[in-house]
């Protein structure tokens, strides 16, 4: 079973995320185990500080090395992958999420404010990951995104194996439109072809919609 530890200054941000939906079921079914840790548990001073002002000046606060080193050294196991969530990391991709899902033990470190002391990255981090070209106030939601994306690749987490293969990005095309009942709703009808029962024609139609949508919204994926 994949073991995941998350180190954050905001552990409660993950409560709902871990309890709900497909991920919550995957954890209940022991397809993965996620432990969330408050970094302040490893701070040593009486104010429980985990961050401090940057040397050289500048706005914001920087995560201190001592609590992070102590936390990671306590939690790590031989061969585990220690991941820091940061906008200047390697962009998350389906391949990276799939690689993470094959590991035995992942430790996610969520940063804060202006960042973390460089010695943390140099000393106790194996991989830096970004979830996109925008900046979050801290990496905790980014850790949730990576965990959600990798959990889908763990066998058993998604009920139907098929649902993995048909989705966006597995074939570098965006999804085709889906419809369910009723066949007509407020004057809007479901495309006739989907009611025809002709599976070959339905596949052709869906592929055409995928190419159309991808050309319109993400032409970069077609190059």
Tokens 């966006």 sit on residue: 168
Q: Which of 14, 116, 131, 157 binds ligand 6GU (CB under 6 A)?
A: 131
Pick the closest to residue 79 from 131, 3, 190, 151 (CA basis): 3
CB of 9 to ligand 6GU, least distance (A): 12
Q: Which residues pair with 185 in a beta bridge?
A: 188
Q: Which of 1, 135, 188, 200 binds ligand 6GU (CB under 6 A)?
A: 135
Contact, 92 vs 146, CB < 8 A? Answer: yes
Q: Residue 184's Cα: distance from chain center in Å?
A: 37
Q: Which is nearer to ligand 6GU, 93 or 163 (CB)?
A: 93
Which helix (H) or strand (E) segment holds residue 90: the answer is strand 81-91
Asked if 138 touches ligand 6GU (CB under 6 A), the answer is: yes
Asked if 157 touches ligand 6GU (CB under 6 A), the answer is: no
Tokens 């001592």 sit on residue: 66
Q: Which of 134, 161, 180, 184 binds ligand 6GU (CB under 6 A)?
A: 134
From residue 98, give the alpha-carbon distance in Å to each of 2, 61, 95.
13, 33, 5
Query: Using CB under 6 A, which of the segments 99-107, 132-140, 148-156, 165-173 binds ligand 6GU?
Result: 132-140
CB of 63 to ligand 6GU, least distance (A): 11
Q: Which is nearer to ligand 6GU, 135 or 216 (CB)?
A: 135
Binding footprint of ligand 6GU, residue count (CB under 6 A): 14
Residues numbered 73 to 112 that lie near ligand 6GU (CB under 6 A) are: 85-87, 111
Contact, 39 vs 124, CB < 8 A? Answer: no
Pick the closest to residue 8 from 99, 172, 139 (CA basis): 139
Where does this chain bind ligand 6GU (CB under 6 A)? 85-87, 111, 129-132, 134-136, 138-139, 142
């Amino acid at each position: 079973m994949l073991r995941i530890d998350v180190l954050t200054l905001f552990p409660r941000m993950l409560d709902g995320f871990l309890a709900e939906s497909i991920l919550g079921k995957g954890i209940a079914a022991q397809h993965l185990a996620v432990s969330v840790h408050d970094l302040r548990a490893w701070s040593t001073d009486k104010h429980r500080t985990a961050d401090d002002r940057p040397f050289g000046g500048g706005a914001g606060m920087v995560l201190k090395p001592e609590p992070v080193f102590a936390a990671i050294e306590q939690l790590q196991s031989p061969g585990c992958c220690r991941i820091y969530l940061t906008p200047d990391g390697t962009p998350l991709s389906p391949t990276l999420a799939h690689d993470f899902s094959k590991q035995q033990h992942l430790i996610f470190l969520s940063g804060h404010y202006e960042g973390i002391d460089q010695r943390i990255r140099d000393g106790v981090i194996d991989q830096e990951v970004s979830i996109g070209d925008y900046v979050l106030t801290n990496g905790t939601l980014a850790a949730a995104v990576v965990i959600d994306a990798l959990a889908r690749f763990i066998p058993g987490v998604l009920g139907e194996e098929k649902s993995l293969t048909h989705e966006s990005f597995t074939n570098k095309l965006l999804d085709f439109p889906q419809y369910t009942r009723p066949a007509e709703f407020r004057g809007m009808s479901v495309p006739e072809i989907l009611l025809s029962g002709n599976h070959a024609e339905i596949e052709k139609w869906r592929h055409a919609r995928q190419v159309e949508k991808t050309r319109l919204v993400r032409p970069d994926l077609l190059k």
